[in-house]
Amino acid sequence: MVRTVELRGARWDEFDLDKRVWLIPEERMKMRAPHLVPLSRQALEILDELRPITGACDLVFPGRSDRRKPISENTLLYALYRMGYHQRATTHGFRALASTILNESGLWRPDAIERQLAHKEQNAVRAAYHRSEYLEERVRMMQWWADFLDASEREAADDKAA
C-alpha cells in the first residue's frame, strides 16, 4: 500500500526482517515523515526470494543498466500491461483498491487505514494532538490484506479452471 516511488526506492537497510517492519525514512516520503510498514508473512517470503537476486545491491529493486538507481517509473506499469491490465489499472490505483476493500470490510478503523496509507490528518487541530500509529492494528490489517489477496488469487484460478 506504499506509493510507487517509495517501493521503487526501497533499500535493504530499511528493512528489519526480525521485527517484520520496513521503515521508510522521511526524506523518501511524500509527507516528509518516516513511515513504518508492517510486513506480512507473504511480504517476508517475497523479500527472502529477492535477497539472493538483489541482496548485494543497496536497492531492493535496482535498475537493469545501473544497479545504483532504482527500476524506472514505468517498470511496474508495463508489468501490469503485460498481465493484461492496460488501460484498466495503474500501480497507484492499488492504493485506492486497498483502501476501499479495507474500509468496506468493516474490520479496521478508518484512522488505521489512513495511517497505513501514510496520509496526513487534514484537520489541523486534530493533527496537532493525534499522533497514534495504530501499529498493532496495522500489523493485523496487513496480514489480513495479504491473506485476502492470496484468497482472491486462488478464487480466480479456480474460476479459470472450472
Catalytic residues: 3, 30, 92, 95, 119, 129
Q: Are 20 and 38 in contact (CB under 8 A)?
A: yes
β 21-24/15-16 pair status: antiparallel
User: How many whole angstroms separate alpha carbon 3 and alpha carbon 105?
Assistant: 22
